[in-house]
A and B are shown apart, each in its own frame.
Chain A
Amino acid sequence: DGGITQSPKYLFRKEGQNVTLSCEQNLNHDAMYWYRQDPGQGLRLIYYSQIVNDFQKGDIAEGYSVSREKKESFPLTVTSAQKNPTAFYLCASSKEQGKGNQPQHFGDGTRLSIL
């Protein structure tokens, strides 16, 4: 079955440590996204990529980095510069064909906590 796989499901970060969240899709989608979900808030966009080797900052990119070396993969690194990283992180993808009318499909998330 096609879908989006996020790993790990739970992740713990120590002070001063960088951690990387994995996101892989086999839907042949062009666009991929990273969101952060906090209780009582809507999803906030961290980074997005519309094509391989290209990505753009979203609304809350500070303290995060991404790469898009393959169409299927869009890993997110939470750096030590992100002072409040505890959240539920969601990866999504969509088959954008110019009009932006395609729904986004989501993985099952990674819950990141501070040790």
Chain B
Amino acid sequence: AQSVAQPEDQVNVAEGNPLTVKCTYSVSGNPYLFWYVQYPNRGLQFLLKYITGDNLVKGSYGFEAEFNKSQTSFHLKKPSALVSDSALYVCAVRDISGAGSYQLTFGKGTKLSVIP
């Protein structure tokens, strides 16, 4: 079985400060990992993914994420937060070695508020 956890329901950060949104996962094999952003009453927008290779993945809008296999984590980061980054951030995992390999499991999401 695959699962994903986002331990923080909400993260507050001042504009211009670095931000981190945490994600941990559990799979029996190797993971594919994804980050999405959701604005109110909108669908999810893809930010970045980890498939294989370099543990530091760069994505859209200046976001990046670091894959850590020993800690089973895939935290989302940005060096300098913007007010417009305020949104719900959702982590998702897929176990590439198991059955139902096309299904993603999504976290509950972390609401990021960037304070001017």
Chain A residues with CB under 8 Å of chain B are: 4, 6, 31, 35, 40-43, 45, 48, 50, 58, 88, 90, 92, 94, 96, 99-101, 103-109, 111
User: B104 touching A104 by the CB < 8 A rule?
Assistant: yes
Given contacts A41-B108, A42-B90, contact A103 B46 (CB under 8 A): yes
User: B51 touching A42 by the CB < 8 A rule?
Assistant: no
Query: Which of the residues B41, B102, B106, B108 comes within 8 Å of A40, measured between beta carbons?
Result: B108
User: Is residue B13 within 8 Å, beta carbon to beta carbon, of the partner chain?
Assistant: no
User: A103 touching B103 by the CB < 8 A rule?
Assistant: no
Q: How many A-B residue pairs have CB under 8 A?
A: 60
Q: CA separation between A13 and B114, bound complex, in Å? A: 37
Neighbouring B residues of A92 by C-beta, 8 Å: 43-44
Looking at the assembled complex, report how far the CB atom of A112 sits from the nearest CB atom of chain B, in whole angstroms: 13
> What would 16 A/B residue contacts be, using CB atoms closer than 8 Å?
A40-B108, A41-B108, A42-B90, A42-B107, A43-B90, A45-B104, A88-B41, A100-B102, A101-B32, A101-B51, A104-B44, A105-B46, A106-B44, A107-B43, A108-B43, A109-B41
Chain B residues with CB under 8 Å of chain A are: 4, 9, 32, 34, 36, 41-46, 49, 51, 90, 94, 96, 101-109
Q: Which residue of B lies closest to A104 (CB)?
A: B104
Q: CA separation between A111 and B36, bound complex, in Å? A: 20
User: A42 touching B32 by the CB < 8 A rule?
Assistant: no
User: B46 touching A100 by the CB < 8 A rule?
Assistant: no
User: B109 touching A103 by the CB < 8 A rule?
Assistant: no
Looking at the assembled complex, report how far the CB atom of A84 sits from the nearest CB atom of chain B, in whole angstroms: 18
